[in-house]
Amino acid sequence: MNKEKNCIETPAVIDLRKQTREAYSGSKKLLDYESGEIVCLSVSGIGKPGGEAYADAIQTLYSFVYTLKFTLKGAGLLDFKILPLECKWGDFDPATTSAEDWSWTLQIRVPPEVTEKQIDDTARIIQERKGLELTPPERVIENGGRWLQLLHLGPYEKLGETYSLLMKEAEQRNLQPVSGRHREAYLSDPRRVAPEKLKTLVRLCVEEKRRDFELYPN
């Protein structure tokens, strides 16, 4: 007697990097591009970059996104390539704010097909495996916009120099930064790459400068 085998069809792999090539380009040239809204898994916190809270957030995010990916793939629902870790910084002045008080949101982009229920289910799977309570990353929709982007090669401590270059470029193009919308994407693993060889994409969301005018001219 023939036995029927239940086979789960492997879903096609979604490569978000190919859908937005500019956003993850390693080009050393300045890029000026538009992007639509994206979906991210996000963990927010306050503390020094590289500190305990920051490191814990990274571990939580990576553990979660890999479990999510292979759970969905195993069920034949969805498969996707995991993109680099990104950080969205809060609206503060790093020159006058203690690093211990820096606010940040660590993110990894995922396909928009990923649902809140799938995120909750993944959290339960991790809790059952590790026996720990887990607050799952938040599913966040980030608005699109116009971006100026440069590749920073070197230690994270010198990222400010690249931001300065982007600000100058924005000024020359009659653009102004959008408050709270500067981001970094980390292309290198600092555990395996020397500081001087670290690659980081630095992005500044910009808009046309507003013209000042008098409502009631004399």
Mind spelling out the 3-state secondary structure of 145-177?
EEEEEEEEECCHHHHHHHHHHHHHHHHHCCEEE
Position 215 pLDDT exceeds 50: no
Tell me the fold of 22-37+144-210: Multidrug-efflux Transporter 1 Regulator Bmrr; Chain A (3.20.80)
Position 2 pLDDT exceeds 50: no
Per-residue model confidence (pLDDT) at position 7: 66
Query: Which residue, among 86, 103, 104, has the nearest Cα to 40 in the 3D structure?
Result: 86
Per-residue model confidence (pLDDT) at position 20: 86
Average of per-residue pLDDT values in the chain: 90
Instruction: Specify which of 1-5, 131-135, 150-154 reaches the highest per-range mean pLDDT.
Output: 150-154
- Per domain, the residue ranges of the chain are 22-37+144-210, 39-142
Assess whether the region 22-37+144-210 and the region 39-142 belong to the same CATH fold.
Answer: yes
Place of tokens 């959290």: 123
Per-residue model confidence (pLDDT) at position 130: 80
- For 39-142, the fitting CATH number among 3.40.50.2300, 3.30.360.10, 3.40.50.1370, 3.20.80.10 is 3.20.80.10
Per-residue model confidence (pLDDT) at position 129: 87
Q: Distance (Å, rounded) from C-alpha 135 to C-alpha 19?
A: 30
User: pTM for the whole thing?
Assistant: 0.88
Query: Which residue, among 108, 57, 58, has the nearest Cα to 82 in the 3D structure?
Result: 108
User: CB count, 10 Å around CB of 193?
Assistant: 12
Position 192 pLDDT exceeds 90: yes
159 CB burial (10 A radius; 0-12, 13-18, 19+): middle
Of 7 and 108, the one with more pLDDT: 108
Q: Distance (Å, rounded) from C-alpha 166 to C-alpha 177?
A: 9
Confidence of residue 195 (pLDDT cuts 50, 70, 90): very high
Q: Distance (Å, rounded) from C-alpha 79 to C-alpha 20?
A: 18
User: CB count, 10 Å around CB of 6?
Assistant: 4
Per-residue model confidence (pLDDT) at position 132: 73
